Chains A and B, each alone.
Chain A
Amino acid sequence: KAGVTQTPRYLIKTRGQQVTLSCSPISGHRSVSWYQQTPGQGLQFLFEYFSETQRNKGNFPGRFSGRQFSNSRSEMNVSTLELGDSALYLCASSLESSGRSRSSTDTQYFGPGTRLTVL
């Protein structure tokens, strides 16, 4: 099976612009989660989508949004970019959503990430 793919791999934007990142999950996986990774904060959860519905959301401002399509592919959008948005954005897919069950242990498979640089 092909792994999780993310496009683009690298992106350079300027402050105030907006950006859209794309994620294609492993075939058959219905859950897609997005994370932001920075040296200072580590890996932080943005949101999770399952069957086109946002299941969980992390503590990020409304400038960060996402959506999931019927084929489980997902996009995330960041509007009005700030310098602090420079980070590695990772997407992870899993078979089921583990956000609603404390005992659910569905493994997440991460993509290679999109490196976003905001100038």
Chain B
Amino acid sequence: SQKIEQNSEALNIQEGKTATLTCNYTNYSPAYLQWYRQDPGRGPVFLLLIRENEKEKRKERLKVTFDTTLKQSLFHITASQPADSATYLCASRGSYIPTFGRGTSLIVHP
């Protein structure tokens, strides 16, 4: 079955820097990967989707890449702000069962 792996260690960065989060998948290449943001006590909020035939996707300060050779997606937040502090989840939906990573906590220090 598909597994989604994200760095379990929190990522601490200074305000204004670029945060880069990693998502690795095992087995087959999913049709697409999704990135969500989750704040404590709340449900995940959809941010971006990237298909397997797309190299890169952008939305405002967010950028996602998809490398099928490395079986990896990178999620970037440029000019990070303390308000970006949250847990970011990667999910695949290439099969009938959606699979989520455990998420990486991002902490942006002022």
Contacts and interface: CB of A to CB of B under 8 A. Distances in A.
A32 to B, nearest CB: 13
Interface of B is mostly: loop
Given A103-B31, A105-B32, A45 B42 contact: no
Given A42-B102, A42-B103, A110 B43 contact: yes
Interface residues of B, number: 24
Interface in B60-109: 89, 91, 93-103
B49 interface: yes
Contact of B100 (A42, A55, A56, A99): A42
Interface residues of A, number: 28
B45 interface: yes
B44 A110 contact: yes
A34 B100 CA distance: 13
A103 B31 CA distance: 6
Nearest to B8: A42
Interface string B11-50: 0000000000000000000011000100001111110010
Interface of A: 4, 33, 35, 41-45, 55-56, 58, 90, 92, 98-100, 102-105, 107-113, 115
